[in-house]
Amino acid sequence: METKTKFMKDIAPQKNVLEIKNLSLEFKNEDRIVRVVNDVSLYIRKGETLGLVGESGCGKSVTSMSIMRLIDSPPGNYPAGEIIYRGEDLLKKTENQMAKIRGNDISMIFQEPMTSLNPVITIGAQIEESLFIHRKLTKQEAKIKAVDMLEKVRIPRAEEIYKAYPHELSGGMRQRVMIAIALACSPNILIADEPTTALDVTIQAQILELMGKLKDEIDTSILFITHDLGVVAEMCDRVAVMYSGEIVEQADVYELYKNPKHPYTRGLLKSIPKIGQTRGILPSIPGQVPLPGTFTHGCKFRDRCEEVMEICHREDPGFLEIEQEHYCRCFLYTTIDGKEVSSHE
C-alpha cells in the first residue's frame, strides 16, 4: 500500500518559483523533540497566489518562516526536506546568503504591523533600508522610490507620511506601509502571514483589495496565509489546506470549493458564512487541533473525522494525487490492490 508521500508531479516545473519538498521541522525543548511540520510538499507558480489555510496552531507560520529561514536552530531542526528556490535548497544556505535573499527575492508581511515596524525610525527610512542594502541606491534615489512605494500602496499625502513615525498611523495604514516595505525591491515571492487578521472588517477588505491590485501591477507570486477559507476564495489561485503540521489537501481554488475531498476541508467550508447568515449559528468542526507530538502514527484528524475507519488509527495516509493537480492525504481515496480501503475493513 502507498503510505509514503511522493513529491507532486511537476506539470511545468520551470514555472514554479518555489517548491517545498517533503519538509519536516522539529523543535527540541529540554529533552523532548516535537515535530511541528511533517512531510509538507507544496509549490508556488510564477505570478500565482497560493493560499495556505488551516486553524490556528496547524503550522502555517512555522512553514512560512522556514522559507525565510527565520526559525532559530536550536531549538529548530529539519530532519527531512528541501525548499527549492532558483534550483537551490534554501535550507543549505548560510546566514550571509539568506540575508541577500530576504527582502530582495522573498519578502514577508506579518499579522501585527506594529511589532514589525521600528517605532523610533521614520516610515521613509524603513522603506529605504532594503533599497540601500539590496539595490545600493543613493539617498535621493531611495527617497523617490520610497515615496513611489507609498503611493503604490494608496497612502494619501505620501510625502508627509514618508516623514511620519509608525505610531502616527492607523493599523490599516501601518499594514500598507508593511506592504510597501515588502515590495520595495520587487521580490519574486511575497509571503503574507494573516495580513488582515488584526484589522477590522472594513479595513481588512480594503487591504485585500489593495493586495489583489498590486499583484496585477507588480510581477510577484504570493503565499497567502489565513485561517479563513472565505478570504482564500477572493485572493487565491490555488489552495493548500494544512492540519496538524501536514498539508491534507491541495488543489485549484475552484476545484477545492466545488469538489472538496478531505473531511477537514469539507468541515472548514461548512463554517464559511453565507450571505444573510450570522456567524453565531455557523457549524464548526467539533474538537481542536491536537498539540504537536500527540499522535505518532495514524491520521492526525481521526479524532474529529466523521468518516474515520479502522486503518486511520494504524497507518499514516500518504499525500497522493487523486485527480489531476488535486492532492489529498486521506484513506478515503487510497486503494489497496485496486479496492478502496474502506472495503477492506
Ligand X SMILES: Nc1ncnc2c1ncn2[C@@H]1O[C@H](COP(=O)(O)OP(=O)(O)O)[C@@H](O)[C@H]1O
Would you count residue 327 as binding ligand SF4 (CB under 6 A)?
no
Cell of 44: 508556488
| DSSP label at residue 56 | T
CB of 52 closer than 8 Å to CB of 63: yes
Would you count residue 273 as binding ligand X (CB under 6 A)?
no
Would you count residue 226 as binding Mg ion (CB under 5 A)?
no
Would you count residue 317 as binding ligand SF4 (CB under 6 A)?
yes
Would you count residue 117 as binding ligand SF4 (CB under 6 A)?
no
CB of 243 closer than 8 Å to CB of 325: no
Interface region with ligand X, contact rule CB under 6 A, candidates 60-68, 169-177, 246-254, 263-271 = 60-68
Helices 123-135 and 171-183: crossing angle in degrees, nearest 10, is: 10
Region 206-265 residues binding ligand SF4, contact defined as CB under 6 A = 262-263
- CA distances (Å), origin 148, targets 114, 162, 327: 22, 10, 41
Would you count residue 61 as binding Mg ion (CB under 5 A)?
yes
Region 289-328 residues binding ligand X, contact defined as CB under 6 A = 292
Would you count residue 184 as binding ligand SF4 (CB under 6 A)?
no
Would you count residue 301 as binding ligand SF4 (CB under 6 A)?
yes
DSSP, collapsed to helix, strand or coil, labels residue 251 as strand
Nearest in space to 190 (alpha carbons), one of 179, 198, 202: 179
C-alpha dihedral over 14, 87, 53, 238, to 10 degrees?
Answer: 0
The amino acid occupying position 13 is P
Among 52, 67, 312, 320, binds ligand SF4 (CB under 6 A): 312
Question: DSSP strand E in the chain: where?
Answer: 16-29, 32-45, 49-53, 76-85, 88-89, 106-109, 189-193, 221-226, 238-243, 246-252, 320-323, 326-328, 335-336, 339-340
Would you count residue 29 as binding ligand X (CB under 6 A)?
yes
**Which residue has cell 474538537?**
287
Q: Of how many residues is the chain composed?
A: 345
Would you count residue 299 as binding ligand SF4 (CB under 6 A)?
yes
Pick what 292 binds: ligand SF4, ligand X, Mg ion, none; C-beta below 5 to 8 Å, kind-dependent. Answer: ligand X
Would you count residue 59 as binding ligand X (CB under 6 A)?
yes
Would you count residue 309 as binding ligand SF4 (CB under 6 A)?
yes
Would you count residue 331 as binding ligand SF4 (CB under 6 A)?
yes
Region 69-88 residues binding ligand X, contact defined as CB under 6 A = 75
State the nearest-atom distance from the C-beta of 76 to ligand X, in Å: 7
Pick what 309 binds: Mg ion, ligand SF4, ligand X, none; C-beta below 5 to 8 Å, kind-dependent. Answer: ligand SF4
Pick what 59 binds: ligand X, ligand SF4, Mg ion, none; C-beta below 5 to 8 Å, kind-dependent. Answer: ligand X
Rounded CA separation 31/37 (Å): 19
Provide the sign of the torsion angle of the four alpha carbons 266, 272, 277, 280, taken in this order: positive
* Residue ranges binding ligand X (CB under 6 A): 27, 29, 36, 54, 56-62, 75, 292
* Residue ranges binding ligand SF4 (CB under 6 A): 262-263, 299, 301-302, 305, 307-309, 312, 317, 330-332
